[in-house]
Amino acid sequence: MTGKFQRLKGLKLANFKGVKRESVLILALLLLSTSPAFAQAGGGGAGAFTTAGNEIKKYWTPLKTFIQFVGGIVGLIGGLRIYNKWQNGDQDVNKEILGWGGACLFLTIVPTFVGSFFGLS
């Protein structure tokens, strides 16, 4: 069978007429040989967690205030949306209330969880 795909024992193999097999092999070997160098240059492990913890400690108080500010605005808009649907007699008000309550609960729990995870006040 000739065409875009060739069949070989039930498998479809792409027909790469313009690409030489050697160039694809060289590219694959190049990518595989550089990945250990990138992995070693990252400096992961406990040092990375310490650095991330220190960076989060510097920005935690303003970030927490910003999260609460955005949560307050979104909560107010969500409450007005629910009030509007309730007054119009929509059938999916319960679903909206559960979604809105879940979002408020999430915004309340996340700063506490992140703070306790990184040892922040």
Predicted pLDDT at 111: 82
Per-residue confidence (pLDDT) for residue 61, from 0 to 100 = 85
Task: Show Cβ contacts of residue 67 under 8 Å, excluding neighbours closer than 6 positions.
Answer: 107, 110, 111
**Domain map of the chain by residue range?**
5-41, 46-117
Q: Enter the pTM of the model.
A: 0.50
Q: List the chain residues with pLDDT less than 50.
A: 4, 7-8
Residue 22 structure tokens: 């050697």
pLDDT of residue 81: 92
pLDDT number for residue 72: 87
